Amino acid sequence: MSKYKISLAVIKRLPKYHRCLGELKSRGVRRISSGELSKIIGFSASQIRQDLSRFGEFGQQGYGYRVNALYSEVEKILGLDKKYSTIIIGAGNIGQAIAKYNDFGNYGYELKAIFDIKKDLIGKDINGFKVMDSNNLREFIQKEDIDIAYICTNAENAIDVFNELSEAGIKGILNFARVDLQNDDNVVIENVHLVENMFKLSYFLKNKN
Amino acid sequence: MSKYKISLAVIKRLPKYHRCLGELKSRGVRRISSGELSKIIGFSASQIRQDLSRFGEFGQQGYGYRVNALYSEVEKILGLDKKYSTIIIGAGNIGQAIAKYNDFGNYGYELKAIFDIKKDLIGKDINGFKVMDSNNLREFIQKEDIDIAYICTNAENAIDVFNELSEAGIKGILNFARVDLQNDDNVVIENVHLVENMFKLSYFLKNKN
DNA sequence: TAGATTGTTAATCGATTAACAATC
DNA sequence: TAGATTGTTAATCGATTAACAATC
């Protein structure tokens, strides 16, 4: 843990360091300097040293950084050395997509259940999970000690679902509904808005050069 | 089109303005001041006026902004007044998810085809689309005048696919593979990395307060 | 040892906020 | 008209880059 408040700009770069160092590691690279890393990752060498020094002194003068050790440090900083239990709320298109998208599973986020409120979806099998009734949501979260929920409902229901999750003691939410849910003191929220990525693309298409 | 170079920070806020104004519009709100909008959207009134003034003089002193007119302006700025033809490359989990995720369709992005290189996937039906052979990719893009491609392959194949798409004359790419593809002069790229959102959540879970 | 490269301080650059004249 | 609110300029704040002493 660091003494200073880490800016959001730095935090957003951490996953890139993680990925890049992971690739170097798997290619068998043992050491890397901020200058070499800069060429690969696209941040300035100065920025790389600034960023990393926020969390500790990981490098050696005249030598650079040990790839394996630095990778582990970044992993720890990001909390990727832990396992998390997750659930999906909403068994529609996005919910089903997340259920099938096994990438999260590869990083230690284990899916435990899928919930919906619609009678015709409850009981349906999605990738080996029987859709559960949202009425049992709170009980399940507490009994199974669920850490993270994916909100995959529509925007209107998302707010009710958020309140329910928060009261049930969920720790984190990845929200795919088209509302910006605000962090409260208990729950950490990440809003993921795929259409906004598309709109940004659209902007650049229209305003190219 | 504006005289100044618009910063990325401003561009990222545009979809939020679009969504918020859309909601106000559908609720029948006719006018809004930067101060009122600030309370809803969470940006400062000053920032809202700064942002909007980059693109024109949309407000009226003493009155504020007309919701409908401003919404249309933002729509135009983002290029959402156009229709786009899209294709999916990669019929795995993400590819299938995008095919079923009809949100993009709601905003004028019409899916025209799904491609894969794997023999066992070609011909498979996904949401009404028969998976096509990637060998026909270039021909299809040119004949059907495709604007945007979703790259839903793994990271290694993504680079080859990108080159192929670029040569075929695609205009924009929404990349879901775990590589950062770089914009070249012809193609506009948006990299969407879902795991990075999860990692950010993970960071905040670990470093809460 | 000499060359290389870090961690950190200072300088620069860019983005956000504040202030206010213009004016509906 | 008087009050409200814009668009814009100036001030502030924060993030990135440059520079360099420390040292492996």
* CA A31 to each of CA A64, A77, A116, B114, B174: distance values in angstroms, whole numbers, following the listed order: 7, 20, 49, 42, 33
Whose CA is closest to A203, among B137, B11, B157? B11
Extract the tokens encoding B168.
């075929």
pLDDT at A208: 82
Q: How far apart are CA A48 and CA A64, in angstroms?
A: 12
- Is A172 within 8 Å of B201 when comparing Cβ atoms? yes
CB half-sphere exposure, A124, CA atoms < 13 A: 16
Tokens representing B55? Answer: 């693109």
d(CA A46, CA A34) in angstroms, rounded, equals 8
pLDDT score of B183: 85
CA distances from B92 to B119, B151, B154, B192 (A): 13, 11, 9, 16
Question: Cα Rg for chain B, rounded, in angstroms?
Answer: 20
Which tens digit of pLDDT belongs to each residue from A97-122? 999 887 899 999 999 999 999 999 99
Amino acid B5: pLDDT: 86
Confidence of residue B2 (pLDDT cuts 50, 70, 90): very low
The whole-number average pLDDT for the span B185-203 is: 96
CA quadruple A173, A179, A182, A187: dihedral, nearest 10: -20
Beta strands across the sheet bearing A31-32: A31-32, A64-66, A59-60
Query: How many CB atoms are closer than 10 A to CB B18?
Result: 22
Length of chain B: 209
Classified as helix, coil or strand, A88 is: strand
The residue behind tokens 């996937």 is: B121
Instruction: Map residue B144 onto helix, strand or coil.
Output: helix
Strands of B84-89's sheet in order across: B132-133, B109-116, B84-89, B148-151, B172-175, B188-191
A37-52: pLDDT as tens digits: 999 999 999 999 999 9
Instruction: Give the model confidence (pLDDT) of A136-188 as tens digits.
Output: 999 999 999 999 999 999 999 999 999 999 999 999 999 999 999 988 889 99
Helix, strand, coil % (nearest 5) of chain B?
45, 20, 35
Average pLDDT of span B113-122: 97
Q: Say whether residue B207 is in contact with chain A using an 8 A CB cutoff.
A: yes
Question: ∠ CA(A37), CA(A42), CA(A48), 5° rounding?
Answer: 55
Percent share of chain A, pLDDT over 90: 91
Q: Report the distance from CA of residue A203 to the C1' of nucleotide D12 in Å, as an integer.
A: 30
User: Do residue A96 and residue B97 have CB atoms under 8 angstroms apart?
Assistant: yes
Protein contacts on strand C: list nucleotides below 7 Å from a Cβ.
2-9, 14-19, 22-24
The rounded radius of gyration (Å) of the Cα atoms in chain A is: 20
In percent, the amount of chain B with pLDDT more than 90 equals: 91
What pLDDT, on the 0 to 100 scale, is given for residue B102?
78
Number of residues that make up chain A = 209
Question: Is B9 an 8 Å CB contact of chain A?
Answer: no
Which residues, other chains included, contact A72 with Cβ-Cβ below 8 Å and sequence gap of 6+? none
A59 CA → C2 C1’, Å: 20
pLDDT for A183 equals 85
Provide the Cα torsion A6, A105, B177, B181; round to 10°.
20
Nearest Cα residue to A106 out of A80, A141, A88, A69: A80
Res B13: pLDDT:
98
- Phi-psi label, residue B169: left if phi above 0, alpha if psi -120 to 50, beta otherwise: left
Give yes or no for B184 touching A (CB within 8 A).
Answer: no
Average pLDDT of chain A, as a whole number = 95
* SS3 state of residue A151: strand
